[in-house]
Structures are given as structure tokens and as C-alpha cells.
């Protein structure tokens, strides 16, 4: 397994358009996280899944944002009616609950979104 | 409120020199503290992870310290290289696995 992958790596869209990002976690990891990172800041938590269940959502996740993990494997993050303030790096991470590396999160390369 | 604060915000050093980055946190209940390196345009990569009982951990030229009493950590980089130029993020995990991120220290190593 080569780690967490995200697609696309870069996305440029016009304001008002919808975008969808995909994250493929490390195969045996049961937890999957989404973060948003703006320039010069650390990542901010958006939401996480344990298997297919979405267990927590940040207040940053407005009703324009939706995330799914239908089969407990890959996840998608959709942003509807994008705004310029949505421009950021969207990071995905995965972790395994239990074991010697309990909860250690491994990050993907991120998707850089630019809303024009 | 759970917070992680890092200093300095940015740092410029000459290649071959050492440097130390600082992290203060107010996270409870504490589980562990991690330092991540994030290259521009990439996801963070873990450098070290320390639990409550550990007060120092090394990974090559990187040495992290943790003082759980004062809730402070530091990351020391020895004999810096140009490839060390990156953002270094201090991250504290609570016992439920939630990560609280610092804003990062932007390190620039100049030849």
C-alpha cells in the first residue's frame, strides 16, 4: 500500500460551481478524516468517519459541504455553490483504531482548491 | 479551550546551523504530541510522536522534547539542510484521538 491518496491534486473552479474530491485511505484503516488548511495556518478539522459512519462534523462544515464514505473505504467531499473563501488545501488522513499505532493519522498529499 | 501555539511563526537560518522550534499547548485530556513536517503543497508527514511518559525522542537530525508538567514541547534540528525548509506543525491528540493543530513554524534554510 502506498499510503493515503487524494484526487485531484489541484482544482480550479468558478464561484458557484460544485466540486467533489476523493480520498482513498490506507486499506486497513477504519478511520478517515477531512481537514481544511489555508495558507500559513495549520489544518482545521472538518469531519471524520469510522468505517462508513460519520461520527463528528465541525461547525466549519456548512450545509454546502457534504462528505460520504459509503462502503467504509474511499470517501468523497463535495462542496456545492463554491465561494472564494473555500479556496484552500483539503487534506485527508486515515488511522487505525487500536494497536501500537493507535489513532496515528497518515495524511494524503491534499487537494488544492482555487475558486475564481 | 484546547489550543496549540507555536513560536516563532517563521525562521530563517543558514545551512548547517541548528535551530529550535517551540510549542505550548492547553489540551486536556492529553494523549500524545506529534511534530509533523509539511513541504509546500504536500500533506504533513510525521516526524515524532511522544506520549505523556516520554520526554525526548529523536528521528535522525530531529529531536523532540516534551515537558508534560509545563505543557511545552520543542523540536531541535541539528546541522540543518536545504531540504529542511518546510512548515513544522505541532499537533496534540486528546484521548479520543482528536488532533489539535498548531499554526506551524515556517522554516527557511538558506545556503
> Distance (Å, rounded) from C-alpha A3 to C-alpha B41?
17
High-pLDDT (> 90) share of chain A, %: 72
> Distance (Å, rounded) from C-alpha B61 to C-alpha B52?
22
Q: Is the pLDDT of residue A103 over 80?
A: no
Rounded to a whole number of angstroms, the distance from the CA of B101 to the nearest CA of chain A is 6
> Distance (Å, rounded) from C-alpha A85 to C-alpha A104?
30
Interface check for B104 against chain A (CB to CB < 8 A): the answer is: yes
- Number of inter-chain CB pairs under 8 A, A vs B: 47
Which residues in B lie closer than 8 A to residue A6 (C-beta atoms)? 43
Contact call for A107 and B45, based on CB within 8 A: yes
> Distance (Å, rounded) from C-alpha B63 to C-alpha A79?
40
- Exposed, middle or buried, B13 (CB in 10 Å: 0-12/13-18/19+)? middle
Residue closest to A111 by CA, chosen among A78, A81, A83, A80: A78
Note if the bond before B78 is cis, omega within 30 degrees. no
Q: Give pLDDT tens digits for A24-61.
A: 999 989 999 999 999 888 899 999 999 999 988 888 88
Question: At A97, is the pLDDT very low, low, confident or very high (cuts 50, 70, 90)?
Answer: confident
Q: Is the torsion defined by CA of B23, B28, B32, B35 positive or negative? A: negative
The answer for residues whose C-beta is within 8 angstroms of residue A80's C-beta and 6 or more apart is A18, A64, A65, A66
* A33 neighbors A44 (Cβ within 8 angstroms): no
Give the nearest chain B residue to A94 (CA atoms).
B97
In degrees and rounded to multiples of 5, residue A22 shows phi and psi of -120, 145
Count of beta carbons in the 10 Å neighbourhood of residue A34: 25
Alpha helices by DSSP H, B1-111: none
Which residues in A lie closer than 8 A to residue B89 (C-beta atoms)? 42-43
Contact call for A112 and B102, based on CB within 8 A: no
Residue closest to B32 by CA, chosen among B46, B61, B4, B53: B53
Rounded to a whole number of angstroms, the distance from the CA of A66 to the nearest CA of chain B is 20
Question: At A14, is the pLDDT very low, low, confident or very high (cuts 50, 70, 90)?
Answer: very high
Contact call for A112 and B97, based on CB within 8 A: no
Contact call for A109 and B43, based on CB within 8 A: yes
Per DSSP, the three-state class of A43 is coil
The mean pLDDT value for A81-99 works out to 90
Contact call for B101 and A44, based on CB within 8 A: yes
CA separation, residue B54 to residues A98, B69, B80, B89, B111 (Å): 20, 12, 25, 19, 35
Q: Give pLDDT tens digits for B39-92.
A: 988 899 999 989 888 899 999 999 999 999 999 999 999 999 999 999 999 999
Amino acid at each position: 500500500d502506498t499510503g493515503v491518496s487524494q484526487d485531484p491534486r489541484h482544482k480550479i473552479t468558478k464561484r458557484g460551481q460544485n466540486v467533489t474530491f476523493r480520498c482513498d485511505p490506507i486499506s486497513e484503516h477504519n478511520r478517515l478524516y477531512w481537514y481544511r488548511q489555508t495558507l500559513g495556518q495549520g489544518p482545521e478539522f472538518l469531519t471524520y468517519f469510522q468505517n462508513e459512519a460519520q461520527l463528528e462534523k465541525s461547525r466549519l462544515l456548512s450545509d454546502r459541504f457534504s462528505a460520504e464514505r459509503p462502503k467504509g473505504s474511499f470517501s468523497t467531499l463535495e462542496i456545492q455553490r463554491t465561494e472564494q473563501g473555500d479556496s484552500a488545501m483539503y487534506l485527508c488522513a486515515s488511522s487505525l483504531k487500536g494497536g501500537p499505532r493507535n489513532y496515528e493519522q497518515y495524511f494524503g498529499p491534499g487537494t488544492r482548491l482555487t475558486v475564481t | 479551550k484546547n489550543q496549540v501555539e507555536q513560536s516563532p511563526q517563521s525562521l530563517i537560518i543558514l545551512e548547517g546551523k541548528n535551530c529550535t522550534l517551540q510549542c505550548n499547548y492547553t489540551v486536556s485530556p492529553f494523549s500524545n504530541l506529534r511534530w509533523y513536517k509539511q513541504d509546500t503543497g504536500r500533506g504533513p508527514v510525521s516526524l515524532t510522536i511522544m506520549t505523556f511518559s516520554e520526554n525526548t525522542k529523536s528521528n535522525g537530525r530531529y529531536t523532540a522534547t516534551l515537558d508534560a508538567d509545563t505543557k511545552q514541547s520543542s523540536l531541535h534540528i541539528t546541522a540543518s539542510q536545504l531540504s529542511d525548509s518546510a512548515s513544522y506543525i505541532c499537533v496534540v491528540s486528546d484521548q479520543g484521538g482528536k488532533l489539535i493543530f498548531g499554526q506551524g513554524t515556517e522554516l527557511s534554510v538558506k545556503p
